Amino acid sequence: MIYLDNAATSFPKPESVGPAMLDYLTNVGASPGRSGHQLAAASGRILFQTRKALTRLFNLSDPGRIIFSENATAALNLALFGLLKPKDRVLVSSLEHNAVMRPLRYLEERHQITIDILPATATSHYDLKLMEQWCEKRKYRLAVINHASNVIGSRAPLEKMLPLLKSHNIISIIDGAQSAGAANIDLEALDPDIFCFTGHKSLFGPPGTGGLYLKAGIEPEPLHYGGTGSRSETEYQPEFLPDRYESGTPNTAGLAGLKAGLEFIAKTGLQNIIAQEKELAENLRSSLRQIPNLTLHEPRPEDEKQPVISFNITGLNCSDIGSRLDREFNIMSRVGLHCAPRAHQNIGTFPQGTVRLSPGYFNHPKEITETARAIAIIAGGYRD
């Protein structure tokens, strides 16, 4: 089997992830912060050590500002529902995932917020000049930026966009679902207000893990209220972090797995992981460019990019291509709109979508060669 759907969920996981989860379930099992015994303390250490590992990865200093959630979608919901008020105005990029657009459309209908979407073309997705003009003329409460597209892999120039937002007192929310663990992210230097991430993609954790970083002074209203294991003498929600946003028993087994994934990144070296994934992706792009009747949807050469590759073959439905890759060649891809319809509108592939391939660290060069050969056969352009 050749697994090239890492942009959805990374697979396989590092060998340490499953045993770490099993160790918690077998040898710890207790709820963190709910009791004073040694197993509860051991459970609490898992959460703290996972926060510490995330602060090291993202170059932060305060683990308490890392809030755990089920995934990036839950983190984005907390940020958007917790900060936006009726009549607010929001700026978003044209590459946003439905994890952003669906909450915003709901708020647009219910609370009459205004959503401004930066226009884009098939080759350029970040018009910084227009963005500056809009920020000068319109009063935005916040802006949401997709750090890395899950459709074509282009990466937003945050180092240029975030100072612009800050100069106009606009709260910045970064969707880092695709970039966390797959790019160098220095949150101390970038200084966003909120950075949302998921654990099950390039952080090598299990599904059901993720969270967000909250900059000091940014305080969305919690979406959930309840027991935190702290301040149990009061019926009011604690105000301190992370407890304010972490009601209920956490997914400690999942976070034990995420901790193992983060330790794998630290041991392997983020730069080594990035370099290997980049080489695999560039080799695949290069091979696909040689196939007749195939359209490769790429960022501009000067743009930073993720190992995410989308293509179409003239005259063939992308669902049929994905099915043949799976059935005939045992190659796992993802087809369709990838929960990002506006990105597909930009590149002219709406409503049919594309075939998406996303290599990961555990893929091998031979698998890339075999995948290109299979696609060439499907496209009718294979030459032995």
Shared domain for 196 and 58, answered yes or no, is yes
Question: How many domains does the chain contain in total?
Answer: 2
Specify the amino acid at residue 134: W
Shared domain for 71 and 196, answered yes or no, is yes
Shared domain for 130 and 225, answered yes or no, is yes
**And the tokens for 348?**
């002219």
- Among 236, 268, 300, give the residue marking a domain's end: 268
CATH number (domain holding residue 42): 3.40.640.10
Shared domain for 176 and 289, answered yes or no, is no
> Range of 303's domain?
2-10+270-379
Shared domain for 223 and 289, answered yes or no, is no
| pLDDT score, position 231 | 82
The CB density around residue 352, as the number of other CB atoms within 10 Å, is 14
Average pLDDT, the chain: 95
Domain contains 97? yes
Using one digit for the tens of pLDDT, what is the confidence trace for 242-296?
A: 999 999 999 999 999 999 999 999 999 999 999 999 999 999 999 999 999 999 9
| pLDDT score, position 381 | 66
| pLDDT score, position 123 | 66
CATH number (domain holding residue 333): 3.90.1150.10
The CB density around residue 296, as the number of other CB atoms within 10 Å, is 16
| pLDDT score, position 120 | 79
Interval 128-143 mean pLDDT: 96
| pLDDT score, position 319 | 96
- How many helices (H) and strands (E) the chain has is answered by 12, 13
Distance in angstroms (rounded) separating the CA atoms of residues 165 and 176: 17
Shared domain for 132 and 219, answered yes or no, is yes
Task: Report the DSSP pairing between strands 66-69 and 114-117.
Answer: unpaired
pTM of the model: 0.96
Shared domain for 94 and 176, answered yes or no, is yes
Shared domain for 124 and 168, answered yes or no, is yes
Shared domain for 127 and 228, answered yes or no, is yes
| pLDDT reading at 78 higher than 60 | yes
Shared domain for 233 and 85, answered yes or no, is yes
Distance in angstroms (rounded) separating the CA atoms of residues 289 and 309: 11
Shared domain for 196 and 336, answered yes or no, is no
Q: Which of 46, 23, 42, 44 is nearest to 32 (CA)?
A: 44
